[in-house]
């Protein structure tokens, strides 16, 4: 029996175009704002598949077919999500995320998709909790960045 090998990407959505727009808030709060409720996992997957198809053509589309791409965790409050990808095509998805420049909904805000970490599912869930907790306490050093 052969085990299917998968990778998980912990991705953070950042909003750098909003910098300097709110002088009463620190820049770290402005860039890490919550994501709109219009964005759901299905729309996000459609956007990632469309960007992969536009960058890599039929090869990129074929690499993501057959359940090779899914979202395991999505949080509007922290603007983070965990993608499950087959090990052979995680670099295609990472590249597509790098080239995406807006949220894949109607009239989506400009944003940056930052891949925080690539790992296994157990490690990704642990890091997503640590990452969201440390976003609230900016002075704490992330334990996995040592």
Spatial contact of 9 and 98, defined as CB atoms under 8 Å apart: no
Q: Which residues are CB-neighbours of 31 under 8 A, at least 6 positions away?
A: 14, 15, 16, 18, 19
User: Rounded distance, CA 71 to CA 11, Å?
Assistant: 11
In which band, very low, low, confident or very high, does the pLDDT at 52 lie, cut at 50, 70 and 90?
Answer: very high
Q: What is the pTM of this model?
A: 0.78
Left (φ > 0), alpha (ψ -120 to 50) or beta: where does 83 sit? beta
What pLDDT digit, counting tens, does each position of 17-45 carry? Answer: 777 777 777 777 778 888 888 889 999 99
User: Rounded distance, CA 31 to CA 42, Å?
Assistant: 24
């Amino acid at each position: 029996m052969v085990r299917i090998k998968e990778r998980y990407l912990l991705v953070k959505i950042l909003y750098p175009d909003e910098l300097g727009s709110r002088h009463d808030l620190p820049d770290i709060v402005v860039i890490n704002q919550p994501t709109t409720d219009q964005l759901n996992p299905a729309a996000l997957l459609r956007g990632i598949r469309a960007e992969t198809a536009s960058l890599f053509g039929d090869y990129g589309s074929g690499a993501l077919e057959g359940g090779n791409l899914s979202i395991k965790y999505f949080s509007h409050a922290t603007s983070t999500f965990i993608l499950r990808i087959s090990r052979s095509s995680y670099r295609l998805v990472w590249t597509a995320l790098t080239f995406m420049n807006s949220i894949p909904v109607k009239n989506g805000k400009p944003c940056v998709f930052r891949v925080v970490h690539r790992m296994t599912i157990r490690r990704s869930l642990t890091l997503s909790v640590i990452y969201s907790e440390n976003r609230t306490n900016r002075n704490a050093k992330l334990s996995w960045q040592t």
